[in-house]
Amino acid sequence: MTRSKDTKSATAIIHDQDLVRGSGGELHQVADGDTPLLTTAQGGPVADDQNTLKYGERGPSLIEDFHFREKIFHFDHERIPERVVHARGYGAHGYFETYESLAKYTRADIFQRAGEKTPAFVRFSTVAGSKGSFDLARDVRGFAVKLYTQEGNWDIVGNNIPVFFIQDAIKFPDIIHSVKPEPDRAFPQAQSAHDNFWDFISLTPESMHMIMWIMSDRAIPRSFRFMEGFGVHTFRFLNAEDESTFVKFIWKPKLGLQSVVWNEAVKINGADPDFHRRDLWDAIQAGDYPEWELCVQLFDQEFADSFDFDVLDPTKLIPEEILEPIPVGRLVLDRMPDNFFAETEQVAFMTQNVPPGVDFSNDPLLQGRNFSYLDTQIKRLGSTNFTHIPINAPKCPFHHFQQDGHLAMRNPVGRVNYQPNSWGEGPREHPARGHRSYRDEVEGPKVRLRAESFADHYSQARQFFNSQIEVEQNHIAMALTFELSKVETPVIRERVVSHLLNIDETLATKVADKLGMKKLPKPADAAIAPRDDLEPSDRLSIVKNGPESFKGRKVGVLVTDGCDAKLLRTLSDALKTEGANMEIVAPKVGGVEASDGSLIEGKQMIDGGPSVLYDAVALIVSAEGAERLTKEAAARDFVADAFTHCKFIAHVEDARPLLDKAGVEPDEGVIAISAAADVKGFVETCRKLRLWARETKVKL
């Protein structure tokens, strides 16, 4: 414990009278009756935390300065190795509430009682970038959930995309090495737009389904709160009779799906590289707790045998129109960690952490993850005793004979540290209550072989592309063009286009044309000819699965001195009723004086609050203020970017000069507001999130 909980608020302001100046002019904050005393880690009170112990005023520092040695020693060791993948993450606490008993399918304790709440911790992350990278990289997002059940921790370690690049875990080091910064030059950071990645992809056709997802807007989500999560693999449920049901896990956001566009993502990373972190923090601090429904796709062996693709293949999914997901509970995040390092950074997820009643399939990628994760956590956290760290410790009773080792915080008590023993002491196994694996009948030779049922690499990629609306398809083409334009080796670009020809010829032609290729290559050889009879799946489109309201979103309101105070209050009230927020953007962060003389404080100044940070914008300015803003590049960009990114723009009549100067051609998404009815209409229109029809005009 480094400080008492009953100390002054962390937001208390330090005034000059709280400071004492030392003999060398340095400032000391000295403890008083309300402030705890600074001590060493051993509890010894510290007299001076500003100066090392020296031999004379200007002499050498002394090795006997134990406070300095302890302080710098700890500082030198306060960073642990970052994760090789998923290094940049952000987490929150919450709970999972079970809807109804699933005892028919599983004996997992968490699914036995309707209405029961189970503590949870969730960590969201990007995959490729380091801890210091930006939030809105084009990347897969990790969606890892730790459920502290009454029969041990259950980790559902998934992503926001239901499939993966590879079919066998032995290729995982290769895909990650290829996407990480190239080893001779150590860049690019948090980007897949380089030769190594696309070289690997072009030589690995099983990746093509995932490529369609990663080049879609799924890879640049607007918020953690607006993205799905998937367990990726096929698992098993086992009931009390050890009867097996296959299961796939899907987390569906209550606020609907939403992403940004690439041009917007690039600018967000410059304006706020912590965009996703800040969004989650702000939502939870405001009491707008993010929520997801856990849905399961349940099926038996007969369905698995009849399905068009192998359910053990992690590059495939089961379309929801074929197998409807069943909601079984809800996940609510309602508390941020007290300390980022202690919880979010040290949390250890492992796919092999499952409770009795949940078991694994023979998915070769899942099997490899089960083997790898334990070793990863030992390396990162420095000891086999990483479960002693509070965030990783079970919240249910636990008993075992593991002992000693580096950083052991608990050890067996008494004489007995083994079993069986003659003393009748210590825990014992329980065949009925313990975890039992499914008695799967397996036969065949020991071989290094890929099943023929894994060999269709293009059909579901084609299905995904065909399931997108035209705007989304254009975004995929644009993403591929951008990424491949960064590839310096022509043969790699050609190989990728040859794969695209097996997915969609129009897509391949468009990308090839943008890259300046004189002629199309031949389609890549396909182990199995791609099918064209798979029905499009509406559930695979972001736009088709958007929200029903504007709840959880944010409007950036640009104001100036003399702005209409009544209209501003009307907009604020309408957004609160909708469950949305507004943020004031002003010429100066100190705010503006409204038409009624009231002070409207600014959350952002125009130079630091670009419109890319908001889901929609409103221009509530005076005529004089608008005229001033027309001369400011940041204000013009605020309006122009909102228009270019197909956002809805509300404006008062006095804002027209600013609209004109920003090059805005009014359309149905540029909405004049002067009365309460106009404001209500604007908020209702914002539920559509974007006016995609504008995109062809702005040529985004």
Q: Would residue 86 show up in a list of annotated catalytic residues for this protein?
A: yes
SS (H, E, C) 676-688: HHHHHHHHHHHHH
E-strand ranges in 560-669 read 581-586, 592-593, 599-600, 604-605, 616-620, 649-651
Do 334 and 96 contact (CB within 8 A), yes or no? Answer: no
Task: Please report where in the chains the tokens 């083997």 appear, as a residue.
Answer: 371
Tokens of 358: 């949940």
Do 517 and 481 contact (CB within 8 A), yes or no? Answer: no
Tokens of 481: 């063009």
CB proximity list for 288: less than 8 A, separation 6 or greater: 552, 579
Q: Would residue 74 show up in a list of annotated catalytic residues for this protein?
A: no
Across the strands, what pairs with 98? Answer: 329
Do 484 and 191 contact (CB within 8 A), yes or no? Answer: no
Catalytically annotated residue among 67, 86, 209, 651: 86
Across the strands, what pairs with 19? Answer: 29
Helix axes 470-485, 262-271, angle to 10 degrees: 60
From residue 464, how far is each of 214, 319, 605 by CA, in Å? 11, 10, 42
Least Cα distance to 620 among 531, 559, 670 occurs for 559
Do 584 and 559 contact (CB within 8 A), yes or no? Answer: yes
The phi-psi region of residue 404 (left if phi > 0; otherwise alpha if psi is between -120 and 50; otherwise beta) is left
Is beta strand 152-159 parallel, antiparallel or unpaired with respect to 141-149? antiparallel
The phi-psi region of residue 52 (left if phi > 0; otherwise alpha if psi is between -120 and 50; otherwise beta) is beta
Catalytically annotated residue among 67, 93, 153, 159: 159
DSSP string for 392-448? GS-SS--------STT------SS--SSS-TT--S----TTTS--------------
C-alpha to C-alpha distance for 256 and 469, rounded to whole angstroms: 17
* Helical (H) or strand (E) element with 117: strand 117-126
From residue 317, how far is each of 48, 163, 309, 494, 546 by CA, in Å? 62, 7, 8, 28, 21
* Helical (H) or strand (E) element with 496: helix 490-500
Interior CA angle at 678 toward 674 and 683, to 5°?
125
Q: How many CA within 13 A on the CB side of residue 235?
A: 28
Residues annotated as catalytic are 86, 159
